[in-house]
Amino acid sequence: MNESLQLLAQKLGIAAAYKDSGLRASYHEINENTLRFFIRVLGYKADNDEEITQSLQKLERRRFQKVLENIYVCRQSMLKFDAVIKTKDCQNDFALTLKPYEKKEKQEVSFVVNVSDEKHGQYTKLQVEITNNLPIGYYELSFSCGENEYKSVLAVAPAQCFESPVLNDKKLFGYALQLYSLRSRKNWGVGDFSDLKEFVNICASSGGDVIGLNPINVFNHCFPEEASPYLSMSRLFLNPIYIDVSAVPEFKEDDIADKQDEIKALNASETILYGKVYNLKISVLQKLFARMKKDEKRLREFRQFCADKGEELENLSAFQCLYEDKWQNHWGGWRSWEKGFQNPHSAAIRKYKEQNRERMEFFCFLQFEAWRQFGIVGKEVKSQGLKIGIYRDLAVGVGRDSAELWSDEGAYLKDCGAGAPPDAFFPAGQKWNLGAFHPVELKERAYVPFIKILRAAMQSAGALRMDHVMSLMRLFVIPENKDGEGTYIYYNFEDMLNIVALESCLNRCMIVGESIGNVPEGFIEAITERNVYAMSVLWAQRYNAGWGDFMPPESYPEKVFASIGTHDMAPLKMWWFAYDIRLSRDLEIIKTDEEMYNAYHKREADRYKLLKSLDEAGVWPDDKHRGGDYLFGENYPEGLEEAAHRFMAKSKAKVVLIQPEDIFQVDKMQNLPGTDRDRHPNWRRKLPINLEDMRLSPLFQRNLTEIKKER
């Protein structure tokens, strides 16, 4: 390989090679064309040796072209930043002031300036060390050299992420909930925020202290059937489908007098009919919006909400309007729109906003009401005294055909999308085509786009799950319109982790990192040191890389949110009967009958190992001891889920999450990775029991009894 090309890629944070996480880990060397493509994506040229040389020189000069960087992210214990000045000015007097954000007064600080050996032409780099103790937070930094003053942002981060003090001496439990899956007698065919409020009561009365949610972000108004929680229009806003229309202040029973049959049918449907539910809700919410505008108090609150959410909300509403106008005549999403409409700051968009202000306000109203109802859930959490409360989920990326990208495309990598390299489950890798932050632009923007999505996700939350947390360090990115291979793009890991820790403490929100996949060496140790909790699932807590015995409860790590499985895994009963293996064969995810039979044989061995582990842990219910080895073809072991839940509750894990699917013996998957809704009803399964009946269910009561023996 061209060594200069490889050096340029390395300096830009583009991996020229990587190892995957397949059963037989393979080493991949990235071809030169792929490297050149990603170098161009990051804003440099590399088509020939001369361009490579020029790009390397440009990189070398880059830091010496301005006095201060746009942001410095430091730990409290290491308050340092650099400054570039003309060498002849090194003997000038220096001054430094800091002004905490949202405060008027500046404060003088003590500091030491050291002249470094780093020079370029007539410029020298200084190292400035602040010797004061500073509270965590963001500061406007003003640095003066002689008569010249320069400004930047200083972010002072804590040593560790926030942790609920109650976890110092208590082990908690709660529930991992897919909000859409909640059944109730009154909802319109999908779980809503009123259902969630009621589930808070169920959680509290059962002794639980946390409710884990799937992402609840806004989807495409024109395509509600594209319902994956991990492919949203914007991670800054909520999904209006979760609005309980009957709980909107302007609602009257007459509004749905002619819709009762439709509501009953959607409520009774075995799976969620997103298009029908959403369009029905929208038709009624339009009436309520018109009514709201006549209520002076509500209108004032609405105007204030819009002002607080600012440009991001205006862009989301404009995007949804534009999509509504253009989707039938423009294939290919917003990039196929007329050029003037592809830029949210264009004259064409300004004119469009003026002409469509009322329709835009309706989309703003949807967010206004969604956030109001979600805020009521947050108040209920506090009222009921849940120790952690809502545990939200931040998706690793956002749809490339989304309002989030359209609003600020420059903050994201162009012409490529995030995915995953080959692994044991997906030998060809995965092409998620998610929008990924541009690492250089992100720092140039003082990490504001990243900070905004963290804050939006932490609102009304006591904990936050960061999907694919390895993206703080690196993300696998694949060219969008090519068959070419992907590679890893690296981020400023120290800055990203510091900002997560800072926002975690400012918002008093714990951080949990989902780290399933190709994890870089040393990464887990680095985030653990910063008090990022891990996720731990029963199926993964095994010896010999998943082939050996299940680890006993006392071997579980403490700083984890543990569960039997996740939404991407078979519920316990489905796993027991190996229905997931049959399903994978029917859908040709498992390619041959031989592979299927091998999987069955392994599952039979795994079932015995699980029974053995439950025996050794002494967790079977007193009235339901194991009756045999339950070979394939025999009955489902009575008390299996109760024993498994007590097993998890007995573990050292600080937090254990119980999935309702396991309690109520669901034998179908919520999501089957690698499939879309044309092959499997992903994200559409409802729970088999109404919310109102959960507490009195013998299954719920028996599982709760076993959990409470240990928590």
Q: Are residues 99 and 22 in the same domain?
A: no
**Confidence band of 139 (pLDDT split at 50, 70, 90):** very high
In whole angstroms, what is the distance from residue 232 CA to residue 216 CA?
9
- The predicted pLDDT at position 176 comes to 98
Q: Are residues 57 and 139 part of one domain? A: no
In this prediction, residue 106 carries a pLDDT of: 85
Residues 565 and 702 in one domain: yes
**Domain termination residue (choose one: 157, 189, 216):** 157
Q: Which of 462, 401, 413 is nearest to 438 (CA)?
A: 413
H or E segment to which residue 84 belongs: strand 80-86
pLDDT (mean) for 681-704: 97
Same domain, 346 and 455: yes
Reported for 121-124, long-range contacts at CB under 8 A and 24+ positions apart, including other chains, are 121/64, 122/86, 122/87, 122/88, 123/64, 123/84, 123/85, 123/86, 123/87, 124/84, 124/85, 124/86, 124/87, 124/90
The one-letter amino acid code at 134 reads L
Check whether 290 has a pLDDT greater than 70: yes
Q: 545 pLDDT exceeds 80? A: no
Output the pLDDT for position 262.
98
Q: Determine the pLDDT at residue 425.
A: 63
Asked whether residue 46 falls in the same domain as residue 183, the answer is: no
Residues 87 and 54 in one domain: no
pLDDT digits (tens, 9 = 90+) for 631-672: 776 788 999 999 999 999 999 999 999 999 999 999 999 999
How would residue 476 be classed by pLDDT, with cut points 50, 70 and 90? very high
> Which of 709, 705, 711, 694 lies closest to 200, judged by CA?
694
635 assigned to some structural domain? no
Residue 406: Cβ within 10 Å count? 27
- 539 and 458 within one domain: yes
Pick the last residue of a domain from 124, 157, 190. Answer: 157
Q: Which pLDDT tens digit goes with each residue over 150-200?
A: 999 999 999 999 999 999 999 999 999 999 999 999 999 999 999 999 999
Domain boundary among 31, 63, 95: 63
What does residue 669 show for φ and ψ, rounded to 5 degrees? -85, 145
In a domain, 163, yes or no: no
Whether residue 499 has pLDDT greater than 70: yes
Among candidate residues 233, 222, 241, the one with its CA nearest the CA of residue 323: 222
Kindly provide the b/e burial profile for residues 219-250, where b requires at least 16 CB atoms within 10 angstroms of the residue's own CB: bbbeebebbbbbbbbbbbbbbbbbbbbbbbeb
- Mark out the alpha helices in 420-466 (DSSP H runs): 439-444, 448-458
The reply to whether 95 falls in a domain is yes
Q: What is the CATH number of the domain that holds 208?
A: 3.20.20.80
pLDDT digits (tens, 9 = 90+) for 317-336: 999 999 999 988 878 899 99
CA proximity to 645, closest of 614, 691, 689: 614
- pLDDT of amino acid 433: 86
Residue 483: per-residue pLDDT:
64
Q: Mean pLDDT for the chain?
A: 95
Is residue 28 domain-shared with residue 98, that is, in the same domain?
no
How far apart are alpha carbons 534 and 558 in whole angstroms? 9
Query: Does the residue 152 lie in any domain?
Result: yes
The predicted structure's pLDDT at residue 329: 83
Q: How many domains does the chain have?
A: 3
| 660 in Cβ contact with 572 (< 8 Å) | no
**What is the pLDDT at residue 160?**
97
Render pLDDT for 437-472 as a digit per residue (tens, 0 to 9). 999 999 999 999 999 999 999 999 999 999 999 999
Query: What per-residue confidence (pLDDT) applies to 21?
Result: 80
Please report, for the domain that includes residue 119, its CATH number.
Answer: 2.60.40
> What whole-number distance in Å separates Cα of residue 619 and Cα of residue 612?
11
pLDDT at 584: 94
Say which amino acid occupies 135. P
Give me the DSSP letters along 454-469.
Answer: HHHHHTT-SEEEETTG
pLDDT at 631: 75
Q: State whether residue 657 is helix, strand or coil.
A: strand
Which SS3 state, helix, strand or coil, does residue 640 take?
helix
Q: Given this model, what pLDDT does residue 24 score?
A: 73
In a domain, 141, yes or no: yes
Neighbours of 540 (CB within 10 A): 15
CA distance 392 to 549: 32
| Residue 96 in tokens | 């430094």
Nearest to 451 by CA among 95, 33, 70: 70
Predicted confidence (pLDDT) at residue 482 exceeds the cutoff of 70: no
Span of 387-396, 466-475, 514-523 with lowest mean pLDDT:
514-523
Q: Annotate 128-158 with b (16+ C-beta within 10 A) or e (fewer).
A: bebeeebebbbbebbbebeeeeeebbbbbbb
Could you tell me what percent of the chain has a pLDDT over 90? Answer: 90
Amino acid 26: pLDDT: 85
Q: Dihedral, CA atoms, 569, 575, 580, 581, nearest 10 degrees?
A: 120
What tens digit of pLDDT does each residue of 399-432 get?
999 999 999 999 999 999 999 887 766 667 788 8
3-state secondary structure string, 570-627? CCHHHHHHCHHHHHHHHCCCCCCHHHHHHHHHHHHHHHHHHHHHHHHHCCCCCCCCCC
Percentage above 70 pLDDT, the chain: 99
Do 153 and 196 sit in the same domain of this protein? no
Mean pLDDT along residues 530-559: 94
Q: Which residue has the higher pLDDT, 427 or 144?
A: 144
CA distance linking residue 309 with residue 372, whole number of Å: 13
Which domain covers residue 354, as residue numbers?
Answer: 172-396+447-471+489-577+641-666+681-708
Same domain, 184 and 306: yes
Q: Is residue 337 domain-resident?
A: yes
- Looking at the structure, do residues 147 and 100 belong to the same domain, yes or no? yes
> Which residues pair with residue 217 across a beta bridge?
238
Q: What is the largest CA-CA distance in the chain?
A: 86
Mean pLDDT for 276-304 is 97
Residues 176 and 237 in one domain: yes
Query: pLDDT band for position 23 (50/70/90)?
Result: low
> 426 in a domain, yes or no?
no
CA distance 347 to 154: 35
DSSP at 40? H
Q: Determine what percent of the chain falls in helix, strand and coil, rounding each to the nearest 5.
A: 40, 20, 40
Residue 625 confidence (pLDDT): 85
676 located within any domain = no
